[in-house]
Amino acid sequence: MAGQMAGRQKWLLHLAAKPLVFMACLLPFAWLFYAALNNQLGANPAEALIRATGDWTLRFVCIVLAVTPLRVITSTPALARFRRMLGLFAYFYVLLHLFSYSWFDMGFDVADIAKDIARRPFILVGFSAFVLLTPLAATSFNAAIKAMGAKRWQLLHKLIYLIAGLGLLHFFWMRAGKNNFNEVFVYAAIVALLLGWRVWNRWAKARRRVSNNAAVGVR
């Protein structure tokens, strides 16, 4: 009986938490929308929107990468249920980033956009990250996992590591023009820490497995 009550409480907590997380993820968009309507984006609103949506894309990629370490360290498996939503919000903000660039910088001129992507490496890298993120967003539902098979789905979604690296490179090259790398180093440190934890965790698991096998052999 107590187990059933605990299960219901966890289910209700999860049910309440998802809308709260969803609303929290929308807050940056709500603020940017409000600021744009009320002329609070500074002297160059177009540049502010392009940069802010790019920043939030990279932040959400970092948040997605942080889910697994937090889930393991805090022993909270339920955190994994939010990963897909967070990943879709990363895609939402990268779409806003691409839309803002295409509109404010290029006036939706497809030919000019294609030339700009080919001419400027940092835009090519950013666009490549967007292209790689698209299949991840397109397969972020249960039917896709069943259609692809869990192993192939997991392999595809490991592209998030490459996407994080491309996002950092895009950010680095963008800031190189003004020789301002402070934020770049912060994001690079966060991504390095999150990826480094994964390497360490796999090494620790492999070591425990070897130790357990050795112990069984001794018996």
Segment 54-66, tens digit of pLDDT: 999 999 999 999 9
Q: Is residue 18 part of a domain?
A: no
Residue 16 predicted with pLDDT over 80: no
Q: Is residue 31 part of a domain?
A: no
Here the tokens at position 24 are: 């929290």
Q: What is the rounded average pLDDT of the residues 113-128?
A: 96
The angle that helices 2-37 and 45-73 make with each other, rounded to 10 degrees, is: 170
More confident residue, 63 or 5: 63
- Residue 5 has a pLDDT of 46
Q: What angle do CA 75, 79, 85 make, to 5 degrees?
A: 165
- Residue 78 has a pLDDT of 83
- Residue 209 has a pLDDT of 81
Q: Is residue 85 part of a domain?
A: yes
Q: Is residue 198 part of a domain?
A: yes
Q: What is the rounded average pLDDT of the residues 89-97?
A: 98
- Residue 167 has a pLDDT of 97
Residue 1 predicted with pLDDT over 50: no
Centre a 10 Å sphere on the Cβ of residue 20 and count the other Cβ atoms it contains. 9
More confident residue, 48 or 180: 48
Centre a 10 Å sphere on the Cβ of residue 61 and count the other Cβ atoms it contains. 29
**Residues sharing a CB contact under 8 Å with residue 104, sequence separation 6 or more, in sequence order:** 46, 47, 49, 50
Task: Please tell me the total count of domains within the chain.
Answer: 1
Distance CA 14, CA 36 (A): 34
- Supply the range of the domain harboring residue 102: 44-214
Q: Is residue 23 part of a domain?
A: no
Name the least confident of 12-21, 82-91, 123-132, 197-206.
12-21
Residue 15 predicted with pLDDT over 70: no
Distance CA 166, CA 175 (A): 14
Q: How many CA atoms lie within 13 A of 114 on its CB side?
A: 3
Residue 7 predicted with pLDDT over 90: no
pLDDT tens track for 154-213: 999 999 999 999 999 999 999 987 888 999 999 999 999 999 999 999 999 888 887 776
Query: Quick check: 164 and 62 in contact, CB under 8 A?
Result: yes
Query: Quick check: 166 and 38 in contact, CB under 8 A?
Result: no
Q: What is the rounded average pLDDT of the residues 53-82?
A: 94
- Residue 109 has a pLDDT of 96
Q: What is the mean pLDDT of the chain?
A: 90
- Residue 163 has a pLDDT of 97
Residue 2 predicted with pLDDT over 50: no
Q: Is residue 67 part of a domain?
A: yes
Q: Is residue 1 part of a domain?
A: no
Q: What is the rounded average pLDDT of the residues 121-146?
A: 95
Q: What is the rounded average pLDDT of the residues 53-79?
A: 94
Q: Is residue 26 part of a domain?
A: no
